[in-house]
Chains A and B, each alone.
Chain A
């Protein structure tokens, strides 16, 4: 497990991270979301030892992160970087070896990854000849080649087409299934919602919310319901203890002070005629995001 404890970091007197804490658990995919400039990249760089924290600690399996430990991490930085003139496979093998693999294992892993990410045909092309989307896939290979103990990806989906997104999603899920903690940042909240088990929302350099995604969604959920009937649903406005949020002919979204009141609304609706839809409304990540930031 990766634990980030109360880290702070300033740049030229400007505090970018302020007492930030969260964790990334084994076998779980943790989504790291926040507005631009909220400190996501700085946090990831501190975990990778590229930057130092002014205060606070980052630990892996309860111990300090030494060079040896860090070498087993997989990292995909936001600013992508590869040697443009080096061949795809050669480059991934090289990075695998820097991560401590022997030549044979690095070769084997590279071949398997290139296959998995549908790049096998480009193995001997220099990276600069690949499209940006394909370069991105190579970058993912570079982060995965050594079967990392922890995977940290800064905006792994930016610049990918929908097909590539699906491929990367499945690769990340496979990594988590292996028991690896996967921490990734993204602006694409619907992707985060689909992919992550846990969520860390960062705002102004501090943790605004963190924990299991479903628990967070429930916690942030007001008791809100949606009802669709055949006729006009305007009568819901007159039910005591109910506040209508949205009304559009036959569809109404409403908040109740207590869950039981929703049942009264449902009974009243059935009494009036057919009910097409009735259910609790779970807030989307975007809504939680707006609420906590």
Chain B
């Protein structure tokens, strides 16, 4: 059988095992729920009406009415009644006529000036927006959080590759497999299987995003998020395969599933870096620019920068090329380490030994 024939069979088995298991579906389901929750929940809070104020006098009534729904008016017959309502806590404050004040009204409150009432009453100066399309900070945060969370959770799901590799070592079926198919087909099949599973999930989530946004009445965001989402997919794919090859080596270096904890922290760190980095340094332009070119973090940082509209046209291509080159190098190194350590049993295999061990098997 050809190399690719063997790779396909191995990938098929891995996919079948995952699809039959529960954890894949639980993670995927949580993602879909989270996506819709993020799109719909903020909108639900928006219907909340403003604080209620007691009003006395024509000017006060007019001013409060001018705030629209920001303040709810409760007209009273005299000043004493207004003060009584404030004292009882029935209203947040009272707005009463005061010819001596420049605005013609006065606010009566208990111990502190009520911020929300004052803000609603303040007459804001007219605003001219120079960049009306610029992305709102909150939405930028939400999008970058979404990208980095997706990368983090799917990146961590790559631990399944390490577990699959170590299971084959632990049960010793690896000896039959290595005697039958090329070692590289074994590695390629595993990476391909997990990558396809994750890409499938990301693809479905990317397709569901417009639906979720429309359901949350945020359809207007689509035009903004669309291109960034489109770029997130290729960055994510390369970034995931890069991580997948590292997970495979983490599994091959140990002989028992319980020893995975000695090799997996390094890969976990590589998964955490883009997540933490983009979340913490989101408003630091220099940090974000650097991270958008460094492999691993570029998978998240570049789409976020694009979303914020900070990139030149050529930037994502250069970053993607750097990521792709790193990926090729990493897969070659991983294949050698995997080959060199797969049949070594006992304690954790040192990297140097795994590297030189690759020379002894024929395969």
Contacts and interface: CB of A to CB of B under 8 A. Distances in A.
Interface of A: 45, 48-52, 67, 70-71, 73, 75, 77, 79-86, 94-95, 97-100, 142
Nearest to B182: A67
Nearest to A100: B1
A71 B181 contact: yes
A50 B171 contact: no
Nearest to B343: A50
Given A52-B359, A94-B13, 7 more contacts: A52-B360, A52-B362, A70-B179, A75-B175, A77-B176, A81-B173, A98-B9
Nearest to A53: B362
Contact of B172 (A67, A79, A85, A94): A79
B191 to A, nearest CB: 18
Contacts of A49: 178-179, 361-363
B276 interface: no
A82 B180 contact: no
A82 B173 contact: yes
A75 B361 contact: no
Contact of A98 (B6, B175, B362): B6
B177 interface: yes
B174 interface: yes
A81 B172 contact: yes
Nearest to B5: A100
A91 to B, nearest CB: 9
Contacts of A45: 175
Contacts of A82: 171, 173
Residue of B17, B167, B362 with highest tally of chain A CB at under 10 A: B362
Interface residues of B, number: 26
A113 to B, nearest CB: 16
Interface centre among A73, A79, A81 (most CB of B within 10 A): A81
A48 B167 CA distance: 21
A52 B361 contact: yes
Given A50-B361, A51-B360, A52-B360, A70 B175 contact: no
A98 B173 contact: no
B171 A95 contact: no
A85 B13 CA distance: 12
Interface in B1-53: 1, 6, 9-10, 13, 17
Given A81-B171, A81-B172, A67 B179 contact: no
Nearest to B6: A98
Given A81-B171, A83-B171, A71 B176 contact: no
A51 B345 CA distance: 14
A286 B353 CA distance: 40
Given A49-B362, A94-B9, A70 B171 contact: no
B179 A73 contact: yes
A142 B360 contact: no
22 contacts: A45-B175, A49-B179, A49-B363, A51-B360, A51-B361, A51-B362, A52-B359, A67-B181, A71-B1, A71-B180, A75-B175, A77-B176, A77-B179, A79-B172, A81-B168, A81-B173, A82-B173, A83-B168, A83-B173, A98-B10, A98-B177, A98-B181
B175 A50 contact: yes
A81 B168 CA distance: 8
Contacts of B361: 49-52
Nearest to A84: B171
A98 B168 CA distance: 15
Contacts of A67: 181-182, 363
Interface string B330-363: 0000000000000100000000000000011111
A44 to B, nearest CB: 9
A258 B57 CA distance: 142
